[in-house]
Structure 1
Amino acid sequence: MVDDLRAHSWRPGLSIEEVPSPQRVAPYAVAFSADLTLRDQELGTGRLVILHDPEGVDSWQGTFRVVAYAKGDAEPEMVTDTMAAEVGWSWLLEALDSHHAAYVAPSGNVACTWSRSFGGLEQQSPQAQLEVRASWTPVLDADGAGIDAHLDAFAELLCATCGIPPLPEGVVMMTPLRQRRQER
């Protein structure tokens, strides 16, 4: 399963790097950091941890647990909306459902922050961010098959927190022509 995780084909613009995993939460774990970049502009960041305890954990309702963190810049008007947290949580559930990622026991929270600078920093624009911290138990085959749908759902969640819409099935995000010429 870890080999499948490392070989996963991620959405364009998403840069994934394996990072040290938590050691005390479960006997087996693998972790990845994620950065979402579009046209050389970093839009958001995230982290994905896959935990495995062959004995199972009652609160997980299974032997695997996916832990996801996604944070992206948002419009100040969005994070001050009283429904912003509910919308952020719905992005997770919609992403899981749209990728047919079977799961149980979802939990987490959504934080909406807005900041404004003063004094010597007064010329900086107000900043707003939306952050989703979530975990769920993936329903997988005995050999761990089915994790790809959960990875794709995480990628979609990170994109949603950054204001990037999901890609419809069969559609590939194209690199702008100007950027393709620069890459040559």
Structure 2
Amino acid sequence: MPANVTSLTPEPFARALQELTEMRWRTGISADEIGSPQRIAPHSVAIAAELVLDDEPLATGRLILLHDPAGNDAWGGTFRLVTYVRAEVDLEMVTDPLLPDVAWSWFTEALESHGCDASALAGTVTASYGRGFGEMDHDPDRAEVELRSSWTPLLDPTHPLTPHLAAWQDLLGQVAGQPPLPPGVASLPVGRIS
């Protein structure tokens, strides 16, 4: 995970990088640092994550942390989190007109449940359906939901990044149909119905 902290790295961003490095992801999530956008903010870091259950990938996502010590009027702060998460869903779900609203509520409820101080929430939810033709005629039909969102977190010594990371991991689980369990509760193994 992120290790490129130098003496020129602003202390708030260095602290966020340290929290990202120390994040303990839930079982089944693997996260790795990837290239981050260089033109949007003076400081940035990005991760890609995948949620896997029984060797089957259930959801993927990317999370980008941007930092501009001078602040950014469009963000309303000095930090911005940008993400997308995507997962396959049942074919019946993709036609449900409430799916976008439900998926957006997964995002906002994840932030609320972890006590994240966040503002300027923005995003889109896309539900898509695909059917193969020609050489792909025998491939099964696919339905996916994708949530793209961004928000301005309040990050300072008393408002850490970790709750935002925990909320994002919960969102990844929700989109995959694997919501977080209360502490002390274990999930039972179940087969996935296609």
How far did 1:120 drift? 3.2
How far did 1:3 drift? 1.6
How far did 1:26 drift? 0.5
Structure 2 residue 141 is the aligned partner of structure 1 residue 103? no
Root mean square deviation of aligned Cα = 1.6
- One-letter amino acid matched to 2:146: E
Alpha carbons 2:77, 2:152 under 8 Å: kept: yes
- The TM-score with structure 1 as length reference comes to 0.89
- The TM-score with structure 2 as length reference comes to 0.84
Alpha carbons 1:12, 1:173 under 8 Å: kept: no
2: CA distance between counterparts of 1:121 and 1:155? 33
Q: Deviations over 1:44-98 (max 9, x none)?
A: 1100011111111112111110111100110111111111111111110011011
**Residue 157 of structure 1 aligns with which residue?**
171
Q: Deviations over 1:106-145 (max 9, x none)?
A: 001011011112233222221011000000011222x474
Alpha carbons 1:105, 1:137 under 8 Å: kept: yes
2: CA distance between counterparts of 1:39 and 1:129? 20
1: CA distance between counterparts of 2:92 and 2:136? 21
Provide the secondary structure at the position in 2 that maps to 1:104: strand
Structure 2 residue 136 is the aligned partner of structure 1 residue 121? yes
Provide the secondary structure at the position in 2 that maps to 1:112: strand
**Residue 24 of structure 1 aligns with which residue?**
39
Give the percent of matched residue pairs that are identical in Structure 1 and Structure 2. 44
1:130–1:59 distance in 2 versus 1, CA, 3 Å: same
Q: Structure 2: state its 5+ residue gaps.
A: 1-14, 190-194
Alpha carbons 2:114, 2:164 under 8 Å: kept: yes
